[in-house]
Homo-oligomer: A and B are copies of this chain.
Amino acid sequence: MSGINKVILVGHLGKDPEVRHLDGGVTVASFPLATSETYNKDGKRVEQTEWHNIVLWRGLAEVASKYLQKGKLVYIEGKLRTRSFEDREKVKKYVTEVVAENFTILGRKSDFEPPVSTENTTPKSESEYTDVTDPSGDLPF
């Protein structure tokens, strides 16, 4: 039946995305995302961090691997999925992940460029600024 399963997160990547190419050519990317919350306890600031397993598929995984790196601040929209797997001792375990449906980088302009590994990047015009939301669209990369 008509259910809704929606997750909205804003947080920082704990690691660079890890990309895998499955048989059949499907790309999957994943990374941990931290969402922190601060509140007052007995007059002291307390920060509580929650870690989320983010998984991205296909085109979204490709874009993520290119534009997201450890430390970046992102808005992520997706859905919850709990799956089971067997660990090395053949014990059945469960893990809950957030399957991303789209994401947007938040932050300064420099955060919107892929990291430069070497030399030479020709200066960017103001208008080349990149948005990576909804990569199913017609992104210029």
Which residues of A does B touch, CB under 8 Å?
1-12, 34-40, 43, 45, 47, 50-52, 73, 75, 77, 79-82, 91, 93-96, 98, 104-108, 112, 127-134, 137-140
Other-chain contact of A130, B2, B51, B104, B139 (Cβ < 8 Å): B2
Contact A80 B50 (CB under 8 A): yes
Complex CA gap A132/B4 in Å reads 11
Complex CA gap A132/B1 in Å reads 9
Complex CA gap A60/B105 in Å reads 27
Contact A35 B5 (CB under 8 A): yes
**Complex A-B: 7 CB contacts under 8 Å:** A1-B36, A2-B130, A3-B37, A4-B10, A39-B137, A45-B140, A91-B91
